[in-house]
Amino acid sequence: MSDIDPHFQAHLEAQAKQAAENPVPPIDQLPPEMVRAGYRMQRQSQDQNAPKDVDVRDFTIPGPHGAIPVRLYEPHGLAGPSGLLVYYHGGGWVIGDLDTHDGHCRRMAAWGGCRVMAVDYRLAPEHPFPKGHDDALAAAKWAFDHAAETGVDPKRIAVGGDSAGGNLAATVAIDLRDDPVRQPAFQLLLYPATTSEWTTPSRKTLDGPVLTFQAMRWFERLLAAAGHPEAHRLSPMDREVKGAAPALIVTAGHDCLKDEGFAYAERLKDAGVEARHVEYPRLPHDFYIMADVSPAVIEAAKETAGALKAAIG
Protein backbone atom coordinates (compact mmCIF):
# COMPACT_ATOMS: atom_id res chain seq x y z
CA MET A 1 0.00 0.00 0.00
CA SER A 2 2.88 2.32 -0.74
CA ASP A 3 0.70 4.82 -2.60
CA ILE A 4 -1.86 5.17 0.19
CA ASP A 5 -1.93 8.43 2.15
CA PRO A 6 0.88 8.21 4.75
CA HIS A 7 -1.42 9.18 7.63
CA PHE A 8 -3.77 6.34 6.74
CA GLN A 9 -0.80 4.01 6.30
CA ALA A 10 0.33 4.74 9.86
CA HIS A 11 -3.23 4.40 11.15
CA LEU A 12 -3.73 1.04 9.45
CA GLU A 13 -0.39 -0.26 10.72
CA ALA A 14 -1.35 0.72 14.27
CA GLN A 15 -4.70 -1.02 13.88
CA ALA A 16 -3.00 -4.17 12.54
CA LYS A 17 -0.62 -4.21 15.51
CA GLN A 18 -3.52 -3.83 17.92
CA ALA A 19 -5.46 -6.62 16.19
CA ALA A 20 -2.44 -8.92 16.41
CA GLU A 21 -2.14 -8.27 20.14
CA ASN A 22 -5.90 -8.50 20.79
CA PRO A 23 -7.44 -10.77 18.13
CA VAL A 24 -11.18 -10.56 17.49
CA PRO A 25 -13.31 -13.10 15.59
CA PRO A 26 -14.01 -12.49 11.89
CA ILE A 27 -16.86 -10.06 11.23
CA ASP A 28 -19.15 -12.81 9.96
CA GLN A 29 -18.86 -14.64 13.30
CA LEU A 30 -20.01 -11.65 15.36
CA PRO A 31 -23.59 -10.54 16.11
CA PRO A 32 -24.57 -7.40 14.14
CA GLU A 33 -25.18 -5.41 17.35
CA MET A 34 -21.58 -5.99 18.45
CA VAL A 35 -20.22 -4.94 15.06
CA ARG A 36 -22.42 -1.83 15.13
CA ALA A 37 -21.18 -0.84 18.57
CA GLY A 38 -17.55 -1.32 17.56
CA TYR A 39 -18.00 0.63 14.34
CA ARG A 40 -19.74 3.48 16.17
CA MET A 41 -16.98 3.70 18.78
CA GLN A 42 -14.23 3.53 16.17
CA ARG A 43 -15.63 6.13 13.81
CA GLN A 44 -16.61 8.57 16.55
CA SER A 45 -13.10 8.36 17.97
CA GLN A 46 -11.71 9.22 14.51
CA ASP A 47 -13.91 12.30 14.05
CA GLN A 48 -13.75 14.52 17.13
CA ASN A 49 -13.25 17.94 15.53
CA ALA A 50 -16.29 18.55 13.33
CA PRO A 51 -17.81 22.05 13.11
CA LYS A 52 -19.71 23.10 16.24
CA ASP A 53 -21.53 26.07 14.70
CA VAL A 54 -24.41 23.87 13.55
CA ASP A 55 -27.78 23.48 15.26
CA VAL A 56 -28.92 19.85 15.46
CA ARG A 57 -32.44 18.54 16.01
CA ASP A 58 -33.56 14.89 16.23
CA PHE A 59 -37.13 13.88 15.42
CA THR A 60 -39.06 11.16 13.63
CA ILE A 61 -40.99 11.12 10.39
CA PRO A 62 -43.57 8.57 9.22
CA GLY A 63 -42.53 5.72 6.94
CA PRO A 64 -44.11 2.63 5.39
CA HIS A 65 -42.72 0.38 8.13
CA GLY A 66 -43.17 2.79 11.05
CA ALA A 67 -41.42 5.91 12.33
CA ILE A 68 -38.02 6.83 10.86
CA PRO A 69 -35.57 8.76 13.10
CA VAL A 70 -33.87 11.69 11.36
CA ARG A 71 -31.38 14.37 12.40
CA LEU A 72 -31.63 17.87 10.93
CA TYR A 73 -28.48 20.01 10.75
CA GLU A 74 -28.76 23.77 10.31
CA PRO A 75 -25.63 25.95 10.08
CA HIS A 76 -25.68 29.06 12.27
CA GLY A 77 -26.78 32.16 10.39
CA LEU A 78 -28.26 30.24 7.49
CA ALA A 79 -30.82 32.36 5.69
CA GLY A 80 -33.96 30.52 4.72
CA PRO A 81 -35.26 29.00 2.68
CA SER A 82 -32.12 26.99 2.00
CA GLY A 83 -31.04 23.93 0.10
CA LEU A 84 -31.29 20.53 1.80
CA LEU A 85 -29.21 17.38 1.51
CA VAL A 86 -31.19 14.25 2.44
CA TYR A 87 -28.34 12.01 3.59
CA TYR A 88 -28.09 8.23 3.98
CA HIS A 89 -25.17 6.84 6.01
CA GLY A 90 -23.00 3.95 4.88
CA GLY A 91 -22.37 0.64 6.60
CA GLY A 92 -23.43 -2.11 4.21
CA TRP A 93 -27.14 -1.68 5.02
CA VAL A 94 -26.28 -3.44 8.31
CA ILE A 95 -24.19 -1.08 10.47
CA GLY A 96 -23.79 2.70 10.82
CA ASP A 97 -26.20 5.25 12.26
CA LEU A 98 -26.76 8.95 12.87
CA ASP A 99 -23.80 9.08 15.27
CA THR A 100 -21.20 7.36 13.06
CA HIS A 101 -21.77 10.02 10.39
CA ASP A 102 -22.50 13.03 12.62
CA GLY A 103 -19.19 14.79 11.96
CA HIS A 104 -19.45 14.29 8.22
CA CYS A 105 -23.00 15.69 8.15
CA ARG A 106 -21.87 18.69 10.20
CA ARG A 107 -19.14 19.41 7.65
CA MET A 108 -21.51 19.09 4.69
CA ALA A 109 -23.97 21.48 6.36
CA ALA A 110 -21.43 24.05 7.57
CA TRP A 111 -19.25 24.04 4.46
CA GLY A 112 -22.03 23.35 1.96
CA GLY A 113 -24.17 26.23 3.21
CA CYS A 114 -27.29 24.08 3.42
CA ARG A 115 -29.41 22.08 5.79
CA VAL A 116 -28.75 18.35 6.02
CA MET A 117 -31.31 15.74 7.06
CA ALA A 118 -29.61 12.48 8.01
CA VAL A 119 -31.87 9.43 7.83
CA ASP A 120 -31.68 6.53 10.30
CA TYR A 121 -33.21 3.99 7.90
CA ARG A 122 -33.93 0.42 8.97
CA LEU A 123 -30.99 -1.99 8.97
CA ALA A 124 -30.67 -5.66 8.07
CA PRO A 125 -30.88 -8.40 9.21
CA GLU A 126 -33.65 -7.29 11.57
CA HIS A 127 -35.22 -5.39 8.68
CA PRO A 128 -34.19 -7.18 5.47
CA PHE A 129 -34.33 -5.76 1.95
CA PRO A 130 -36.16 -3.67 0.81
CA LYS A 131 -37.17 -2.01 4.10
CA GLY A 132 -34.12 0.27 4.21
CA HIS A 133 -34.72 1.30 0.61
CA ASP A 134 -38.38 1.94 1.39
CA ASP A 135 -37.39 4.16 4.32
CA ALA A 136 -34.90 6.05 2.14
CA LEU A 137 -37.54 6.85 -0.47
CA ALA A 138 -40.12 7.80 2.16
CA ALA A 139 -37.66 10.18 3.81
CA ALA A 140 -36.90 11.96 0.54
CA LYS A 141 -40.59 12.32 -0.24
CA TRP A 142 -41.20 13.68 3.26
CA ALA A 143 -38.44 16.28 2.75
CA PHE A 144 -40.20 17.60 -0.36
CA ASP A 145 -43.66 17.52 1.21
CA HIS A 146 -42.55 19.33 4.38
CA ALA A 147 -40.00 21.74 2.88
CA ALA A 148 -41.78 24.86 4.12
CA GLU A 149 -41.78 23.80 7.76
CA THR A 150 -38.08 22.88 7.73
CA GLY A 151 -36.98 26.12 6.03
CA VAL A 152 -36.13 24.43 2.77
CA ASP A 153 -36.53 25.45 -0.87
CA PRO A 154 -38.11 22.36 -2.54
CA LYS A 155 -36.31 23.19 -5.78
CA ARG A 156 -32.95 22.80 -3.99
CA ILE A 157 -33.24 19.37 -2.39
CA ALA A 158 -30.44 16.89 -3.02
CA VAL A 159 -30.07 13.23 -2.07
CA GLY A 160 -26.73 11.84 -1.01
CA GLY A 161 -24.94 9.09 0.83
CA ASP A 162 -21.76 7.09 1.16
CA SER A 163 -21.19 3.42 0.32
CA ALA A 164 -24.50 1.63 1.02
CA GLY A 165 -25.95 5.10 1.60
CA GLY A 166 -24.73 6.11 -1.84
CA ASN A 167 -26.62 3.10 -3.17
CA LEU A 168 -29.76 4.31 -1.39
CA ALA A 169 -29.34 7.86 -2.72
CA ALA A 170 -28.86 6.62 -6.29
CA THR A 171 -31.97 4.43 -6.10
CA VAL A 172 -34.03 7.28 -4.65
CA ALA A 173 -32.89 9.58 -7.47
CA ILE A 174 -34.06 6.93 -9.95
CA ASP A 175 -37.34 6.31 -8.12
CA LEU A 176 -38.16 10.04 -8.25
CA ARG A 177 -37.28 10.55 -11.94
CA ASP A 178 -40.92 10.60 -12.99
CA ASP A 179 -42.37 12.25 -9.88
CA PRO A 180 -44.19 15.37 -11.12
CA VAL A 181 -43.52 17.33 -7.91
CA ARG A 182 -40.54 15.81 -6.10
CA GLN A 183 -37.50 16.33 -8.33
CA PRO A 184 -34.06 16.19 -6.66
CA ALA A 185 -31.74 18.93 -7.82
CA PHE A 186 -28.57 16.89 -7.27
CA GLN A 187 -27.26 13.52 -6.14
CA LEU A 188 -24.08 13.23 -4.08
CA LEU A 189 -22.77 9.66 -4.32
CA LEU A 190 -19.68 8.99 -2.20
CA TYR A 191 -17.91 5.69 -2.98
CA PRO A 192 -21.33 4.19 -3.76
CA ALA A 193 -22.23 0.55 -4.24
CA THR A 194 -23.95 0.57 -7.63
CA THR A 195 -24.20 -3.12 -8.55
CA SER A 196 -24.71 -6.45 -6.83
CA GLU A 197 -22.34 -8.14 -9.29
CA TRP A 198 -18.71 -9.00 -8.47
CA THR A 199 -17.41 -8.39 -11.98
CA THR A 200 -15.30 -5.22 -11.82
CA PRO A 201 -11.50 -5.45 -11.46
CA SER A 202 -11.58 -3.60 -8.12
CA ARG A 203 -14.16 -6.08 -6.74
CA LYS A 204 -11.71 -8.85 -7.61
CA THR A 205 -8.43 -7.31 -6.45
CA LEU A 206 -8.95 -4.59 -3.78
CA ASP A 207 -9.68 -6.64 -0.66
CA GLY A 208 -9.45 -3.89 1.98
CA PRO A 209 -7.76 -2.09 3.62
CA VAL A 210 -11.04 -0.81 5.15
CA LEU A 211 -13.83 -2.54 3.24
CA THR A 212 -12.93 -6.22 2.88
CA PHE A 213 -14.50 -8.86 0.65
CA GLN A 214 -15.46 -10.78 3.79
CA ALA A 215 -17.38 -7.77 5.13
CA MET A 216 -19.06 -7.18 1.76
CA ARG A 217 -20.23 -10.79 1.59
CA TRP A 218 -21.53 -10.56 5.18
CA PHE A 219 -23.45 -7.40 4.39
CA GLU A 220 -24.97 -8.96 1.27
CA ARG A 221 -25.99 -12.11 3.11
CA LEU A 222 -27.69 -10.21 5.92
CA LEU A 223 -29.43 -7.81 3.53
CA ALA A 224 -31.06 -10.85 1.88
CA ALA A 225 -31.89 -9.11 -1.40
CA ALA A 226 -30.89 -12.01 -3.67
CA GLY A 227 -33.96 -13.58 -5.22
CA HIS A 228 -36.29 -10.85 -3.93
CA PRO A 229 -38.83 -9.67 -6.55
CA GLU A 230 -37.57 -6.09 -6.07
CA ALA A 231 -33.86 -7.02 -6.11
CA HIS A 232 -33.37 -4.81 -9.19
CA ARG A 233 -33.60 -1.79 -6.85
CA LEU A 234 -30.22 -2.75 -5.41
CA SER A 235 -28.35 -2.21 -8.70
CA PRO A 236 -28.72 1.34 -10.03
CA MET A 237 -26.25 0.33 -12.74
CA ASP A 238 -28.88 -1.92 -14.32
CA ARG A 239 -31.81 0.51 -14.11
CA GLU A 240 -33.06 3.24 -16.44
CA VAL A 241 -31.35 6.44 -15.31
CA LYS A 242 -32.36 8.87 -18.05
CA GLY A 243 -33.86 11.96 -16.44
CA ALA A 244 -32.19 11.40 -13.05
CA ALA A 245 -30.72 14.36 -11.15
CA PRO A 246 -27.23 15.70 -11.92
CA ALA A 247 -24.60 13.83 -9.93
CA LEU A 248 -21.19 14.00 -8.33
CA ILE A 249 -19.69 10.54 -7.85
CA VAL A 250 -16.64 10.34 -5.59
CA THR A 251 -14.46 7.25 -5.41
CA ALA A 252 -11.46 6.23 -3.28
CA GLY A 253 -8.36 4.69 -4.83
CA HIS A 254 -8.07 1.97 -2.16
CA ASP A 255 -11.61 0.63 -2.35
CA CYS A 256 -13.22 -2.40 -3.97
CA LEU A 257 -16.18 -0.19 -5.00
CA LYS A 258 -14.12 2.30 -7.00
CA ASP A 259 -14.64 0.79 -10.46
CA GLU A 260 -18.42 0.59 -10.16
CA GLY A 261 -18.52 4.20 -8.98
CA PHE A 262 -16.64 5.32 -12.08
CA ALA A 263 -18.77 3.05 -14.28
CA TYR A 264 -21.96 4.53 -12.84
CA ALA A 265 -20.76 8.05 -13.65
CA GLU A 266 -20.23 6.90 -17.24
CA ARG A 267 -23.64 5.20 -17.24
CA LEU A 268 -25.29 8.47 -16.20
CA LYS A 269 -23.41 10.45 -18.83
CA ASP A 270 -24.38 7.95 -21.53
CA ALA A 271 -28.03 8.52 -20.56
CA GLY A 272 -27.65 12.29 -20.90
CA VAL A 273 -27.39 12.97 -17.16
CA GLU A 274 -24.90 15.62 -16.06
CA ALA A 275 -22.38 13.67 -13.99
CA ARG A 276 -18.90 14.33 -12.67
CA HIS A 277 -16.50 11.76 -11.25
CA VAL A 278 -13.76 12.61 -8.77
CA GLU A 279 -11.32 10.06 -7.38
CA TYR A 280 -9.04 10.48 -4.37
CA PRO A 281 -6.42 7.91 -5.38
CA ARG A 282 -4.53 7.80 -2.06
CA LEU A 283 -7.53 7.42 0.23
CA PRO A 284 -9.42 4.29 1.38
CA HIS A 285 -13.11 3.49 1.61
CA ASP A 286 -14.96 5.29 4.45
CA PHE A 287 -12.47 8.16 4.55
CA TYR A 288 -15.10 10.92 4.93
CA ILE A 289 -15.94 9.72 8.45
CA MET A 290 -12.31 9.36 9.55
CA ALA A 291 -11.54 13.07 9.43
CA ASP A 292 -9.01 13.07 12.26
CA VAL A 293 -6.81 10.44 10.60
CA SER A 294 -5.47 12.64 7.81
CA PRO A 295 -5.59 16.30 6.66
CA ALA A 296 -6.41 14.88 3.21
CA VAL A 297 -9.92 14.04 4.47
CA ILE A 298 -10.61 17.66 5.38
CA GLU A 299 -9.41 18.81 1.96
CA ALA A 300 -11.63 16.26 0.22
CA ALA A 301 -14.61 17.18 2.42
CA LYS A 302 -14.18 20.87 1.61
CA GLU A 303 -14.08 20.13 -2.12
CA THR A 304 -17.15 17.91 -1.86
CA ALA A 305 -19.06 20.48 0.21
CA GLY A 306 -18.07 23.09 -2.36
CA ALA A 307 -19.69 21.03 -5.10
CA LEU A 308 -22.79 20.62 -2.93
CA LYS A 309 -22.93 24.38 -2.33
CA ALA A 310 -22.61 25.08 -6.04
CA ALA A 311 -25.51 22.70 -6.72
CA ILE A 312 -28.02 23.65 -4.01
CA GLY A 313 -26.48 26.47 -1.93
CA angle 199, 201, 202 (to 5 degrees): 105
Which residues, in sequence order, are CB contacts of 88 under 8 Å at separation 6+?
118, 119, 121, 136, 159, 160, 161, 164, 165, 166, 168, 169
Burial of 261 (0-12, 13-18, 19+ CB in 10 A): buried
Which residues, in sequence order, are CB contacts of 22 under 8 Å at separation 6+?
none
Please name which of 304, 244, 299 lies closest in space to residue 275, comparing C-alpha atoms: 244
Which residues, in sequence order, are CB contacts of 78 under 8 Å at separation 6+?
113, 114, 115, 151
Q: Just list the catalytic residues.
A: 163, 255, 285
SS3 69: strand
Q: Residue 10 and residue 65: Cα distance in Å, rounded?
A: 43
